[in-house]
C-alpha cells in the first residue's frame, strides 16, 4: 500500500494545500517578512487540523471523544508545565500562537491532536498487529519532532524556556505525555487514515529540519 500519494480528489486537494502553505511559510520566514509569516502559524495549524479530520476514514462519537481526550490531556500537561514548571521544565508561551487559557494557547491543544494522529497513524502502518509497539513508536516520533521544534521555537515566537534551551526534562516530559495520548489514539481510532497523515508528518520533519539548518 502506497501511503505517500493520494488516492482521491479530497486527499489530493488537502495534501496540495498543506504542502503549499508550509512551502510558502518556509520561504517567507527564511527570505521574506518573517514576523508576518510566523503570525499565521495558528491559522496554518487550524487548517491542517480541519483537513486532518476531513480525511479521516470514519468520524464517529468514539473518534470525537478520542480527539477531545487528547486535547484535554495535552492542555492539562501544558498548563501544569507553564504555571508550575513540572513535566517539561520552566517555560512560557510567547505571542505568536494566539489566544491563551491559563498561559497556554488554545492552538497547542489542537497541535497535540495533530501530532498524536499523524505519528500514531504512521506507527500503526508499521505495527498494525502490535498496539504496544505502535504506541511506543508513535511516542518516539513525537519526541523526535519536538527535538527539531525546540531550537527554533523562541525565534518563531512560540515559547521560551527559562535557560533559553529546552532541558532534558522537556523530552522526558514529551515521552511521558506522549504515551497516554498515543494509547488514546490507538484504542480510540479503529480505522486509521494514512496518506494525509504521512504527508503532514513528512512536512513537519522537513519544515523544522530546514528551519534548524537555516538558523545555523
pLDDT at 31: 83
What is the rounded average pLDDT of the residues 66-90?
A: 95
Average pLDDT, the chain: 92
What is the rounded average pLDDT of the residues 148-163?
A: 92
Rounded to an integer, what is the distance from CA 75 to the centroid of its chain?
A: 13
Give yes or no for a contact between 95 and 160, defined as CB atoms under 8 angstroms apart.
no
User: Which residue, among 55, 11, 15, has the nearest Cα to 199 in the 3D structure?
Assistant: 15
What is the rounded average pLDDT of the residues 53-70?
A: 90
The Cα 152–Cα 204 span in angstroms is 13
Determine phi and psi for 96, rounding to 5 degrees: -85, 0
Percent share of the chain, pLDDT over 70: 98
pLDDT at 183: 97
What is the rounded average pLDDT of the residues 115-127?
A: 95
pLDDT at 7 over 90: no
| Extents of the domains making up the chain | 9-215
What is the rounded average pLDDT of the residues 60-77?
A: 94
Q: Is 74 exposed, middle or buried (0-12, 13-18, 19+ CB in 10 A)?
A: buried
Q: Please state whether the predicted TM-score (pTM) of the whole model is above 0.85.
A: yes
Range from 3-12, 50-59, 91-100, 139-148 carrying the lowest mean pLDDT = 3-12
Amino acid at each position: 500500500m502506497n501511503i505517500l500519494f493520494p488516492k482521491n480528489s479530497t486527499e489530493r486537494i488537502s495534501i496540495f494545500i498543506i504542502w503549499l502553505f508550509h512551502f510558502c511559510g518556509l520561504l517567507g520566514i527564511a527570505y521574506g517578512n518573517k514576523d508576518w509569516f510566523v503570525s499565521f502559524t495558528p491559522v496554518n495549524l487550524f487548517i491542517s487540523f480541519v483537513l486532518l479530520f476531513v480525511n479521516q476514514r470514519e468520524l464517529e462519537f468514539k473518534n470525537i471523544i478520542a480527539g477531545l481526550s487528547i486535547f484535554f490531556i495535552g492542555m492539562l500537561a501544558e498548563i501544569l508545565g507553564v504555571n508550575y514548571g513540572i513535566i517539561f521544565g520552566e517555560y512560557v508561551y510567547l505571542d505568536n500562537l494566539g489566544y491563551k487559557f491559563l498561559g497556554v494557547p488554545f492552538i497547542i491543544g489542537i497541535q497535540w491532536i495533530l501530532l498524536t494522529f499523524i505519528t500514531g497513524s504512521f506507527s500503526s502502518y508499521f505495527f498494525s498487529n502490535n498496539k504496544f509497539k505502535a504506541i511506543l513508536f508513535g511516542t518516539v516520533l513525537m519526541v523526535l519532532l519536538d527535538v527539531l521544534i525546540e531550537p527554533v521555537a523562541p525565534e518563531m515566537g512560540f515559547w521560551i524556556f527559562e535557560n533559553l534551551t529546552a532541558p532534558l526534562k522537556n523530552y522526558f516530559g514529551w515521552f511521558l505525555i506522549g504515551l497516554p495520548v498515543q494509547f488514546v489514539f490507538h484504542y480510540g481510532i479503529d480505522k486509521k487514515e494514512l496518506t494525509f497523515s504521512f504527508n503532514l508528518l513528512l512536512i513537519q520533519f522537513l519544515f523544522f529540519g530546514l528551519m534548524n539548518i537555516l538558523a545555523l
